[in-house]
Amino acid sequence: MTTYALDATALGMRYRRGWGLRDCEFQLPTGRISALIGPNGAGKSTLMRLATGLLRPTTGSIRVLGEEPGRHGTHRKLAFLAQDKPLYRGFTVAEMLRAGAVLNPSWDDEYAWRLVREADVPPQAKVGTLSGGQRTRVALAIALGRRPEVVLLDEPLADLDPLAREDVMRTLMAEVADSGMTVVLSSHVIADLDGVCDHLLLLAGGRVRLQGDVEDLLAQHRVLIGSRELVMPDGVVEARTTERQATVIARTGPVPGWEADEPSLEELAMAYLRSARAVAA
């Protein structure tokens, strides 16, 4: 039986105001980088907090490496970097790393320090004086320094400049290739995920709208351009028309009469996000 990094069945989380996640069924493979995409309020952070055991599901279950989280605290092989990157502001960077070493039996001091050095963060600086991007790099070094099997990163790229984003993605890819670590990361910067993520989970309105291996998903979809008089193909995700021409993204093979191309990850994700928004409106 396959053990997934994350495996959810009928997963739902109801807050006082309403459902944050509802009827979610998904599997994320081990040893890969999975992208978690969705508009604000889609349920991405809720999903991560359920996986860490910080929240308990209202319905269904989520398993991390085959185990239900929360029974014995966060899974020992799981690291989570929350959106607000909680670090002790009064500690220096060096003190944060020392705390990481004391608190984590699987700590790899050399690796954590290498990540901090690569990020050019001054070790004696107090965390509270660092820029948002520098704080992210320190938090990432602490999360990865634990040598987790699965790391959940909630918008790790948000504070980073384009070069730092590239560095972080390269670090994550190297770690996945070298140690077989699993990365699940949420991001609104879809273009940065292209060529990096192997697997996609797209949420909107608390529900799963699209999931699967990225290469398979791209191969299963087409951007079709043709006259607006043409019959629409099956599997339309989104159709946009001008006076003469229609541009369609559809889950389909080649369709006679239409000019067809494979979509980019960004084109595919944007089509699903726009269509989910149109349905909700």
| Site residues, ligand ATP (CB under 6 A) | 15-17, 20, 38, 40-46
Cβ proximity of 87 and 135 under 8 Å: yes
Which three-class secondary structure string do you get for 57-96?
A: CCEEEEEECCECCEECECCCCEEEECCCCCCCCCCEHHHH
Closest CB to ligand ATP among 12 and 20?
A: 20
Closest CB to ligand ATP among 45 and 182?
A: 45
Q: Which residue has the tokens 């193909």?
A: 233
Minimum distance between the CB of residue 15 and ligand ATP, rounded to whole angstroms?
Answer: 3
Minimum distance between the CB of residue 206 and ligand ATP, rounded to whole angstroms?
Answer: 6
- Give every CB contact of residue 50 below 8 A, 6+ residues apart in sequence: 11, 13, 21, 56, 57, 62, 69
Minimum distance between the CB of residue 250 and ligand ATP, rounded to whole angstroms?
Answer: 26
The CA-to-CA distance between both ends of the chain, in Å, stands at 41
Integer Cα distance of 32 and 27 in angstroms:
12
162-179 vs 132-145: helix crossing angle, rounded to 10: 0
Minimum distance between the CB of residue 186 and ligand ATP, rounded to whole angstroms?
Answer: 7
Minimum distance between the CB of residue 27 and ligand ATP, rounded to whole angstroms?
Answer: 19
Closest CB to ligand ATP among 22 and 77?
A: 22
Integer Cα distance of 8 and 197 in angstroms:
20
256: DSSP letter: T
Minimum distance between the CB of residue 209 and ligand ATP, rounded to whole angstroms?
Answer: 12
Closest CB to ligand ATP among 77 and 207?
A: 207
Integer Cα distance of 7 and 27 in angstroms:
4
Closest CB to ligand ATP among 17 and 71?
A: 17
Closest CB to ligand ATP among 54 and 99?
A: 54
Closest CB to ligand ATP among 89 and 188?
A: 188
Question: What Å distances lie between residue 92 and 87, 128, 129, 143, CA to CA?
Answer: 10, 8, 9, 17
Integer Cα distance of 281 and 278 in angstroms:
5
Integer Cα distance of 31 and 18 in angstroms:
34
Closest CB to ligand ATP among 72 and 188?
A: 188
Assigned token pair, 97: 């790393």
